[in-house]
Amino acid sequence: MNGNQLFAKIFDLTTQFGQKWIFAIILLLIFWFGGIILQTFVTKMAQRKNLNKDFLHLIARVVKIVMVLLGSITVLGALGVDVSALVAGLGLTGFALGFA
């Protein structure tokens, strides 16, 4: 393999995996900004109801964390990682916390 073939192979691999990574970063940014928008929306809606400030802060943070978690799972799936076991584990955790 000469230098040109090596460069072509590296370029092909970079192009192939680079597109996945760029798509994953864009997805994560969409979920991140979606979390910020939802956090702001929840904050404004809760202020209209005159809720406790600490409770309001907790709910807004939980909404943002859930959005980022969903985005992370989506990004892992887009990168080709099998997330079915992770999603099942999160479901069981939610089930257990619901009965706690």
Domain boundaries, the chain: 21-99
The radius of gyration of the chain's CA atoms, rounded to the nearest angstrom, is 20
The pLDDT confidence band at residue 1, using thresholds 50, 70 and 90, is low
Q: What Å distances lie between residue 89 and 66, 82, 94, CA to CA?
A: 15, 13, 9
Residue 79's pLDDT is what? 84
pLDDT tens, position by position, 37-83:
988 888 888 778 777 878 888 888 888 898 989 999 988 888 888 88
How far, in Å, CA of 58 to CA of 45, rounded? Answer: 14
pTM to 2 decimals? 0.69
Which residues, other chains included, contact 56 with Cβ-Cβ below 8 Å and sequence gap of 6+?
Answer: 43, 46, 47
